[in-house]
Amino acid sequence: MHVPEKYYDEVFEFRGKWDMPSRCGLRIIKKETTIVIVTELYQDNPGTSVTAAGKLLADQICREKNLIPEKIIYLECNPDTSSKLSFYDEEFFEVDFTKKDKPVYRQLNAKELKDLLGFPERL
C-alpha cells in the first residue's frame, strides 16, 4: 500500500528504536506556530513507525530543521491508503510530549484540522 505524496513534502530519514534506519513523510508548515506533520509510510518504512518513534523522531526533526521543540505543534498522520480495512482510514493526532512518562495523543476532527492547517477538511 503506497502513501500518496500529497501527504508530505519530503521523505525524512531518521534513526528509530535501537538505531534502526527508518523513514516517514514530513511536512513543515510555518505559521505563527510551526506545525510539524509526520506521516506513516507503512511498507515504504523499513524501520520504526512514527508512533513508536515518538519523541525520538520529534527531537531528530527539530535538530535537523533547526526548530525549537517547545514551539511546535506536532501531528502524526495515518494517511488514507484506500484500503478496505478501517484502521487504514485517514486520521490526524496532535501529540504532546511534555508529560515525562508518555506522550498524550488527541485525535483531531475535520474542523480542527482545517482550522489548524487552513487546508480542506482532508489532505
What is the per-residue pLDDT across 18-42, written as a single tens digit (0 to 9) for each? 999 999 999 999 988 999 999 999 8
Instruction: Identify the CA nearest to 27 among candidates 106, 99, 92.
Output: 92
Question: Torsions phi, psi of 55, nearest 5?
Answer: -65, -30
Tens of pLDDT, residues 63-105: 999 999 999 999 999 887 776 655 556 889 999 998 877 899 9
SS3 label, residue 112: helix
Reply yes or no on whether the pLDDT at 59 is more than 90: yes
Section 42-63 average pLDDT: 94
Q: Assess contact for 76 and 27: CB atoms under 8 A.
A: no
For residue 72, the SS3 value is strand
Contacts of 101 (CB under 8 A, 6+ apart): none
With cut-offs at 50, 70 and 90, classify the pLDDT of residue 15: very high
Q: Which of 86, 3, 88 is nearest to 44 (CA)?
A: 3
Q: Please tell me the predicted confidence (pLDDT) of residue 66.
A: 97
Residue 100: per-residue pLDDT = 75
Of the two residues 23 and 122, the one the predictor is more confident about is 23
Question: What's the predicted TM-score (pTM) here?
Answer: 0.89
